[in-house]
Amino acid sequence: IDNWRHTRMLMSIAPILQARPDATWMTVGDGRYGSDAAFLKEQGVKAIATSLTGERLKIAHEMGRIDQWRVENAERISLPDSSVDFVLCKEAYHHFPRPPIALYEMLRVARTAIVPVSYTHLT
């Protein structure tokens, strides 16, 4: 059931993926073995998985589930301005100690938009 729920949330971005198949993505708070970045990879787009810790992301990379990963603090992302087209933050925002700073950082590194996804937004 949990997999269905997460897949349903991620399918809400299908129109963006179809309209911009060449876009680059970064996931924020993707510590569940890079599952969000793995979903994006399955859809044929390039994604960098990020999390505050890298142990699970490293395993996902070694298994071939994700192509790129980085240890990043959402409040201090080390990428330059406008580094990726989209930033995906799925169910992680409430974990940030200072959410407005994390939001600013996501906006700073995104060329096009940030895409917040939460189950509460789906009907």
Instruction: Write down the pLDDT at residue 119.
Output: 54
Side chain identity, residue 54 = G
- Rg of the chain over Cα atoms, rounded to whole angstroms, equals 13
Residues sharing a CB contact under 8 Å with residue 30, sequence separation 6 or more, in sequence order: 36, 37, 49, 50, 51, 57, 90, 92
Below-70 pLDDT ranges, the chain:
118-123
The CA-atom distances, in angstroms, between 48 and each of 2, 74, 112, 120 are 23, 13, 16, 25
pLDDT tens column, 37-57: 999 999 999 999 999 999 999
Cβ atoms 13, 36 nearer than 8 A: no
Confidence (pTM): 0.90
